[in-house]
Amino acid sequence: MSKSMILLASFAVAAYAAGPAIVPAEFKSNQTLLPAYISLSYELSGFPSFAGTKSSPNQYSVNLLQNIAKYQGDMPRARVGGNSQDRAIYDATLQTPTASRCSADPLAIQCIGPSFFDSYGAFPSTKYSHGFNEAWNNASGLSTLEATVPLACKAIGPDQLETWEFGNEPDLFIGKWRPNNWNETHYVAEWQNGTKKIFELFQQHCPELATPVKFNFMAPSVSSPGSKLKPVTIFNNGEDTENIIKQISVHNYITGVNSPGVTLQNSLMNHASTVNSINNHVNTAKSLATIPGLEKVPYIQGEENSLYGGGRAGLSNVYGSALWVLDYVLQAASTGVIKRLHFHQSLGASYSAWYPVGVNATTNPTYYGKLAAAVFMGKSEERYVLPLPDAVNSSFESAYAGYDAKTGRLNRLAVINMNEFNSTQAANTRESKTYEFMVPSSTWKVERLTAPGADVTTGVTFGGYAYEYATLGKPEAVVRRTEVLAVVGARTLKVTVPASEAAILTRL
Ligand SMILES: *[C@@H]1O[C@H](CO)[C@@H](O)[C@H](O)[C@H]1NC(C)=O
Ligand SMILES: *[C@@H]1O[C@H](CO)[C@@H](O)[C@H](O)[C@H]1NC(C)=O
Ligand SMILES: *[C@@H]1O[C@H](CO)[C@@H](O)[C@H](O)[C@H]1NC(C)=O
Ligand SMILES: *[C@@H]1O[C@H](CO)[C@@H](O)[C@H](O)[C@H]1NC(C)=O
Ligand SMILES: *[C@@H]1O[C@H](CO)[C@@H](O)[C@H](O)[C@H]1NC(C)=O
Ligand SMILES: *[C@@H]1O[C@H](CO)[C@@H](O)[C@H](O)[C@H]1NC(C)=O
Ligand SMILES: *[C@@H]1O[C@H](CO)[C@@H](O)[C@H](O)[C@H]1NC(C)=O
């Protein structure tokens, strides 16, 4: 946000605290986001189930992804990695894509076989990043690198490549795969040594990818901005001396599944908690941008979600978390410096947006939060987002304006009323609030993200549509109603939103 905008915003608070929030009719920022703002990260071990194979894709997953692509103009990027990336040992004799044991290494707890790589290309028009194992310091790990680089580079190829990754959350190697005194200097030396080896393997097996443009990484993929391996120290120690880092990736979770005091209202349906979590990244991103050579390297969250440890049933898999997803995306986008998000997906994890296969195949509420966010964002590379703190009264609510980056014109509004309402409460006790915005004379289409209560795992709709497994993720009309609002009186737009509901407004 530019300095003049900050001044304008604080002026609005002072002068109009009791009235409708002033929404600038035009806004321009100097910060451009990456395309596919809403992207995904797949735990490597579960990726084959989410994706299927190139010759037999998981059509349910493809449909769900294409719904998002329809709005954001781009398929979510597929980052394949996570904890299992650093456990993955390759076994050429495996008949399945993954296994928990294999003959290549009797001590391995995660194995992958040749058919693992058949999953790349299953999602159409999608760019992928594959994460190589860094944690090994044994013979089977070295053979894994030597065997999987050729397989990955051939399976992904130049057209589907987003970037590569070497190591996931290396800060958590300390005291586990690495000694307690392992620090940024050791990490940087190891990362550079490993990526050099990967480059040599590319030269041998995929020379078309061993070029300055195509050979690049997301890194350092530490678990949080406050990681034991400090991102700023990592880069000050020369991580990117070869200029091969395409995206600075730092992971984020709001808190853990077993953290004291974690509840929907305290931790997720809570704008202050979301802002606080995101601000740690903004500070890190800004510090990194002052390091010579990093000024133009985009900062992303290559893996993020609600609660680390897979999410918690009753919190991460309920509709209240869909409101969190929406608030999280819009707040992160409004910073301008967090250029893309990868929501993490893992088989059976309650924070996954959907379960892709088997008897439990289902669309989780958080999928709907991503869809609502995609409708607000449109093409993220053409979107500026401005938070509207004057429009709301408490940290259980948030509001945003969206601008077309090309013209600076206001064309989206969002209101997220995160006051917790449970489906177990009487429906007639669900309180609504009316939010007022001062905008130019205009009419707006309203699409609501709603469900019977914050606690439900099913029955969610966005814009009156469901996207469930029964229709293989294709839209099914549930509520047939087109809602249009117009500015009345003194340029005021009034939007009424019940507790635990959000509205996305698109200017007509
Ligand atoms: C954008 O503008 C702000 C405020 O003028 C400035 O601090 C920041 O460095 C600029 N960022 C870029 C990427 O130009
Ligand atoms: C080799 O390293 C991997 C970690 O990537 C580990 O899971 C496996 O147990 C190790 N194998 C041996 C023989 O130490
Ligand atoms: C890491 O530890 C080594 C000693 O093993 C030391 O020389 C180096 O300065 C340390 N690096 C950092 C960033 O603290
Ligand atoms: C450097 O990479 C080689 C493989 O190319 C590996 O054998 C060696 O253990 C690595 N050394 C360090 C310090 O990471
Ligand atoms: C389905 O969900 C149930 C309940 O969470 C779980 O016990 C079971 O293992 C799951 N089945 C599969 C195939 O994932
Ligand atoms: C909704 O239900 C959850 C779980 O039982 C409970 O912790 C929370 O306090 C309830 N919220 C309201 C507003 O009643
Ligand atoms: C904020 O609180 C004031 C005073 O309690 C009330 O008049 C107003 O309607 C509230 N606004 C919203 C958006 O809830």
**pLDDT tens string 442-475:** 999 999 999 999 999 999 999 999 999 999 999 9
Atom 7 of ligand 3 has which residue's CA nearest to it? 185
Q: Where are the alpha helices (DSSP H) in 336-446?
A: 365-377
Element (H, E) at 13: helix 3-16
For residue 110, pLDDT beyond 60: yes
146 in active site: no
184 a catalytic residue: yes
Task: Scan for tokens 């997803």, then name that residue.
Answer: 325
Please compute the mean of the pLDDT values over residues 3-12 and round it to a whole number. 33
pLDDT band at residue 480, thresholds of 50, 70 and 90?
confident
Q: Is the C-beta atom of 468 inside 6 A of ligand 2?
A: no
**Any atom of ligand 2 within 6 Å of the Cβ of 134:** no
In this structure, what are the phi and psi dihedrals at residue 266, rounded to the nearest 5 degrees?
A: -75, -40
- Mutation test of ligand 2: which of 138, 148, 172 has the most ligand atoms closer than 8 Å to its C-beta? 138
Q: How far is the CA of 486 from the centre of ligand 5 (A)?
A: 47
* Helix (H), strand (E) at residue 245: strand 245-250
Confidence (pLDDT) at 53: 98
Q: How many residues does the chain have?
A: 508
- Residues 245-265: b if buried by 16+ CB within 10 A, e if exposed: bbbbbbbbbbbebeeeebebe
How far apart are alpha carbons 268 and 475 in whole angstroms? 27
* 190 Cβ below 6 A of ligand 4: yes
Domain locations along the chain: 3-28+386-507, 38-381
Statement: residue 6 has pLDDT above 90:
no
Counting from 1 in the atom list of ligand 6, the atom nearest the Cα of 263 is 7
Going by C-alpha positions, the residue among 201, 132, 127, 122 that lies closest to residue 159 is 127
Q: What percent of the chain stands above pLDDT 90?
A: 94
The pLDDT of residue 494 is above 50: yes
Q: Which of 43, 134, 165, 184 is catalytic?
A: 184
Residue 101 CB less than 6 A away from ligand 4 = no
Model confidence pLDDT, tens digit, residues 356-392: 999 999 999 999 999 999 999 999 999 999 999 999 9
What does the pLDDT read at residue 292? 96
Residue 169: pLDDT over 70: yes
Is domain 3-28+386-507 classified as CATH 2.60.40.1180? yes
Q: pLDDT tens digits for 234-288?
A: 999 999 999 999 999 999 999 999 999 999 999 999 999 999 999 999 999 999 9
Residue 7 pLDDT > 60, yes or no?
A: no
pLDDT tens track for 114-161: 999 999 999 999 999 999 999 999 999 999 999 999 999 999 999 999
pLDDT attached to residue 481: 83
Q: How far is the CA of 394 from the centre of ligand 7 (A)?
A: 9
Ligand 5 atom at shortest distance from the alpha carbon of 313: 5
For the Cβ of 134 lying below 6 angstroms from any atom of ligand 4, the answer is no
Q: What is the tens place of the pLDDT at every residue in 67-82?
A: 999 999 999 999 999 9
Q: 172-182: per-residue pLDDT in tens? A: 999 999 999 99
Prediction pTM value: 0.95
Residues 6 or more apart whose CB falls under 8 angstroms from that of 237 comprise: 184, 185, 188
Dig out the tokens for 123 from the structure: 């999602």
> What is the whole-number distance in angstroms between the Cα of residue 348 and the centre of ligand 5?
7
Which atom of ligand 5 lies closest to the CA of 359? 13
**Residue 170 confidence class, pLDDT cut points 50, 70, 90:** very high
* Mean pLDDT of the chain, nearest integer: 95
Q: Which atom of ligand 3 is nearest to the CA of 186?
A: 1
Cα-to-centroid distance, 186 and ligand 3 (Å): 7
Which residues 6+ apart lie within 8 Å of 297 measured at CB? 240, 245, 246, 247, 248, 288
106 CA: nearest ligand 2 atom: 13
Ligand 3, atom 11: nearest CA belongs to which residue? 185
Distance 393 CA to ligand 7 centre (A): 6
> Is 240 a pocket residue for ligand 4 (Cβ < 6 Å)?
no
What number does the ligand 1 atom closest to the CA of 30 have?
Answer: 1
- Neighbouring C-beta atoms of residue 199, cutoff 10 Å: 16
By alpha-carbon position, which residue is closest to atom 9 of ligand 4?
137
CATH of 38-381, picked from 3.20.20.80, 1.10.10.10, 3.90.1150.10, 3.40.1000.10, is: 3.20.20.80
Which residue has the CA at smallest separation from atom 7 of ligand 6?
A: 263
Span from the CA of 10 to the centroid of ligand 7 (angstroms):
18
Q: What is the pLDDT of residue 10?
A: 32
